[in-house]
Every structure is written in structure tokens, then in C-alpha cells.
Amino acid sequence: MSCLNDEALKAALLMDLQWFAAEDEGRTEEPTEYKIQKAREDGRVAKSQELVGALVLLLPALTIFFLAPSMLRTCVEMLRFYFSRITELDPIRDRVVAQAFFDYLIKLTLPIVAMSMVAAVFANVVQTGFLFTTKPLTPDFSKVVPRLGRYFQKTLFSMEGLFNIAKSIIKMLIIGSVAFFLIRSEIKELANLQTASLWLGVTTVAGLAIRMLIIAALLLLLLSIPDMLFQRWQYRESLKMSKQEVKEERKMYEGDPLIKSRLRQRMRELMNRNIAVTVPRADVVIANPTHFAVALEYKSGMDGPTVSAKGEDELALRIRRIAEENDVPVVENKPLARALYAEAEVGEIIPETYYRAVADVLAYVYRTNEERRRNAGLGA
């Protein structure tokens, strides 16, 4: 009994892993656009074969329904042609036999084949858009190796397997019910066909069959709606990613954050080493008053005020000292200095949020410089 209980527990655990495979494997994150696009390029898309099958059944059935009279006339003409020449023509030597055969074959099958192709293409394009790839056709010899355990696990002990079984049962019930109720409604006419003419028998049975096809196709088309929703859900589940995969993909496309941080730090170090050159070129130094200092440069042709140097504590004092030695105005504005130090990097344009505040500071500096030059001129 203990062994049986252990086996039952293992089976239950296996089924649970199949029902919640993505989460149990650690794939809890929604797929990124890159992964969805990569899967699409590989031919992996969310597609309901039930929709394709229903449309491929419905549209040719409607074609047969509307073209049935002309198709019956073509069949009668074909029979009359062959039976009237049965003693005259030799199928081996007379080419007219083969030519007539292919002519009648094209007349009878071309509309149905063409409509089937249109239905198949339309059903796929509606679901996946225009997509052409040969990757699914690439030979994969690893799939040749039989994996019966995995096959039975996928087809029987998984959400997909249970859904497919239920779907197959519903399809059989649909087709069986349609056939049963239609035949029962026409049972008297079918019973009287034994005394009817050949033409009446053919048209009656053909009409019943085509009605059966159209009704069954419409019901299967309705069945394809939940199947399409399930396929899309399952597709998203199969593409789910682990947090590590998301992180690796972000590194691949945006660069390693650690490396980028080190590069920015290295750039700041190099530019701060050159403060003796960059600070004298600045138009103003905004200070706080001793903890932070940010040197800004704004010349004609620039897209916006640019941080030429910034520093904290001792480096801030050094920037102020160099600015005073080179007659660069130093304006004390504690909130602005702190914000620019935190949000703007050396060599970058300041955020647009601070354009107005910096413009007021630069306007003040320009007015002060103009008054100083004017006073100097009057003094001379």
C-alpha cells in the first residue's frame, strides 16, 4: 500500500508540474517584445488549427452548394461523352480520352481547390498576419529520437492534452448530432428513394450531405473561438521568461548596467581631472554653498546648458576657487545646485525641468556682467 501511495503522489506531482509548468520552472515574467519577435521569426506563433480546418471545410462546402447544378451538369456531360464513345475510342492510343479527362477534372475540382487554398491562407493571415519563414522546415534530427514518456506526459497529463481530448470529444458530438438530426428529419424521404428515380436519389442525398457539411462547419467555427483563446494563452505561457533571462536580455540590448556605470564613473573622473581647463570656460558655477558645485557652460549653437564640471565637498571648493580665479560668476542656489548635481552628468545637457531656473541664473549673470562692464567704462 505504501508503494502505491508513493506512486500516486509522484503522478499527482507530475501532473501539477504540467499544469503550472512556467511558474514551477521559475518563468514568471511576461515575454519581452524581442522574444516574441524572435519566436515569430522562428515560425512559432499562436494559431488555432480548428479555425483553419473549419474555414477550409465551410468555404469549399458553400462553393459546392452554389455550384452544385453546374457541377452535376458537368458530371452528366462527362458520363455521356465517355459512354457514347465507349466503342470508338482506345484509351491507350487516342489522346482525346486523356485530354477530356483532365478538362472535366479541372472544371469539377478547380473551384473547390482554389476556395480551399483561399480559406487556408485567409485563416492563417487572420491569426498571424503575413509571415513567411523556412525555419520550421529545417531538419531537426533530435526530434526523430522517440521520447515516449515526454509524449504521453504532454498528450495525456497536461493542460494541452486534456483540452485536446475535450475538443475531440466535442467535435465528434457536433458531427454526430448534426448527422443524426438531419437524417432523422429526412428519414421518410430517404426511405422512399428506393422507388424514386436515379436523379432524385442523387440530388436528395447530395443536398442532405452538403447541408450536413455546412452546419457542421459553422458549429466547428464556433468551437474554434475558445480554441484560439486557449492557443494564445498557451503561447504566452510557453514564452514566459525567468527573471534571469529578462536581466540577460536587457544586458544584451541596453548594455551591462555595471559596465555602463563604470564607464560613466571613469568619464566623470577624467573630466573632473580637467576642471582646471573646463571651469574657466564655464559661464556660471552654481554652489550650495560649500557642499556642491556645478559649472555650466552655454554658448551659441549648443542645444542647452551643459555641465562642464561638478563636485562635492573638497572638489566643490576647488571648483569655486578656480572659478573665482578666472572671474567665472559663482551663484549660490542650494536646491538648484543639489538637483543638478544629482540629475545631470558631466558633459551632458541639463534636464529640461531645470531650463527655466538655469535661464534665470544665466540672465542674472549676464546682467551683472553687463553692469560691471558699464561701470568699468564709466570709471575709465
Binned at pLDDT 50, 70 and 90, residue 248 comes out as: confident
- pLDDT score, position 14: 39
- pLDDT score, position 313: 80
338 SS3 class: helix
- pLDDT score, position 353: 84
% of the chain surpassing 90 pLDDT: 8
Instruction: Please tell me the least confidently modeled range out of 117-126, 209-218, 266-275, 315-324.
Output: 266-275
% of the chain surpassing 70 pLDDT: 78
Average pLDDT estimate for 311-327: 84
Binned at pLDDT 50, 70 and 90, residue 268 comes out as: low
d(CA 46, CA 239): 11
Average pLDDT estimate for 102-128: 89
Residue 366 DSSP one-character state: H
> How confident is the model over 173-187, as pLDDT tens digits?
998 999 999 889 888
Q: Is the pLDDT of residue 322 over 60?
A: yes
Instruction: Please tell me the least confidently modeled range out of 13-17, 266-270, 280-284, 330-334.
Output: 13-17
Q: Is the pLDDT of residue 69 over 70?
A: yes
Binned at pLDDT 50, 70 and 90, residue 283 comes out as: confident
Binned at pLDDT 50, 70 and 90, residue 146 comes out as: low
Binned at pLDDT 50, 70 and 90, residue 3 comes out as: very low
Average pLDDT estimate for 8-28: 48
Binned at pLDDT 50, 70 and 90, residue 13 comes out as: very low
Average pLDDT estimate for 300-318: 83
- pLDDT score, position 76: 86
Q: Is the pLDDT of residue 139 over 70?
A: no
d(CA 101, CA 104): 5
The residue that leads in pLDDT, 30 or 19, is 30
Binned at pLDDT 50, 70 and 90, residue 21 comes out as: low
> How confident is the model over 196-209, as pLDDT tens digits?
888 888 888 888 99
Is domain 258-379 annotated with CATH 3.40.50.2300?
Answer: no
d(CA 116, CA 64): 11
Q: Is the pLDDT of residue 6 over 70?
A: no
Look at residues 338, 342, 350, 347 and name the one whose alpha carbon lies nearest to residue 263.
347
Whole-model pTM: value is: 0.52
- 137-142, long-range: CB within 8 Å, 24+ apart, which pairs? none
Q: Is the pLDDT of residue 372 over 80?
A: no
Instruction: Please tell me the least confidently modeled range out of 110-114, 176-180, 300-304, 363-367.
Output: 300-304
Q: Is the pLDDT of residue 273 over 80?
A: no
User: What residue spans of 85-133 are helical by DSSP H?
Assistant: 95-128
Instruction: Please tell me the least confidently modeled range out of 18-22, 81-85, 285-289, 311-315.
Output: 18-22
Residue 331 DSSP one-character state: E
- pLDDT score, position 17: 38
Per-residue H/E/C for 147-160: CHHHHHHHHHCCHH
- pLDDT score, position 35: 79
**Mean of pLDDT over the chain:** 79
Domain ranges of the chain: 31-239, 258-379
Instruction: With residue 312 as reference, give the H or E element that holds it.
Output: strand 306-312
For residue 150 the three cell numbers come to 515526454
| Residue pair 108/72 in contact by the 8 Å Cβ criterion | no
For 125, residues 6+ apart whose C-beta sits below 8 A from its C-beta are none
- pLDDT score, position 214: 92
